[in-house]
Structure 1
């Protein structure tokens, strides 16, 4: 099972919203067949904090909605662990801007919960190596993202 650590640095999310994050990540991990004993952390921050992280770690001097910091980056030097010794698979960290959740939910015409789950799954897929740097990869990642959200019950509404 996926171990999810959630930290709301803004102290603005409700318990049900924090539970949704855990549930949607566990669902996504099952969908993507992530190995047992994997760990992930999700932090919710304000716009200023995510702007600073984006600048420090990506060299982009502006805010964003979600950042992912994978600990098992594809393409980097591989380190071999013997998982049988109880060592968890540390997937990485997802950082989400709380103010962007509400703004984007309104912009895209869906619920706060849908946007919260969308950004969470988006960050999770980045941790697994999915990306959207070109059109082909974008189609693959966004299709996978929507499949996960749809199967969880938070697909796009047809209205």
Structure 2
């Protein structure tokens, strides 16, 4: 999978987070092929407010926007005549300053908030939505499931690494 990350804002804080790993985890969870391509951009409040106004007709910054390229279920091999055409799933744009404000509102950490926004944005690219109540329930449940699995995986890796360090001494 090709995960392109553009740190236009708050690069120092964001580079320490496992953005690419989480993106691959989500796309794998959703059975996207290995030739899937996604871009993730972290932008200022002003930049996301401009996108929000232009594409959604809403004023002010939002936390995350998703822009679909190829449909989540498209078979591009026939179009390009190849088995392994790139599936350009789309772009996720996140406003880290909005995420920071939301940590105070929801009692989360910066990493937890960025992780939730990333999962949310990627699920939109995978075809999920939350316009109707039943869709919202399904999407929120899936977000929770993915984040719980991701956290358990990270915890297990930390334990394994710690045990390896202890044995090496």
TM-score band by shorter chain is: 0.7 to 0.9
Is the Cα contact below 8 Å between 2:72 and 2:125 reproduced in 1? Answer: no
Give 1:73 shift.
3.9
C-alpha distance in 2, partners of 1:120/1:74? 17
Q: 1:28 aligns with which of 26, 29, 45?
A: 26
**Cα displacement (A) at 1:11:** 4.2
Q: Please name the residue that 2:58 is paired with.
A: 60
Deviation at 1:81, TM superposition (A): 2.7
Match of 1:111?
109
Match of 1:147 among 141, 145, 148: 145
Count matched residues.
Answer: 150
Match of 1:93 among 91, 94, 111: 91
Report which of the two structures shows the higher radius of gyration computed on alpha carbons.
Answer: 2
* Aligned equivalent of 2:128: 130
**Deviation beyond 4 Å, 4+ runs, structure 1:** 77-80
Greater helix content: 2
- TM-score, scaled relative to structure 1: 0.86
Q: TM-score, normalised by structure 2?
A: 0.81
- Structure 1: unaligned runs, 5 residues or longer: 155-159
Partner of 1:72: 70
Aligned partner of residue 62 in structure 1, secondary structure: coil
Q: Which 5+ residue runs of structure 2 have no aligned equivalent?
A: 153-169
- 2:72–2:89: 8 Å Cα contact kept in structure 1? no
SS in structure 1 opposite 2:58? coil
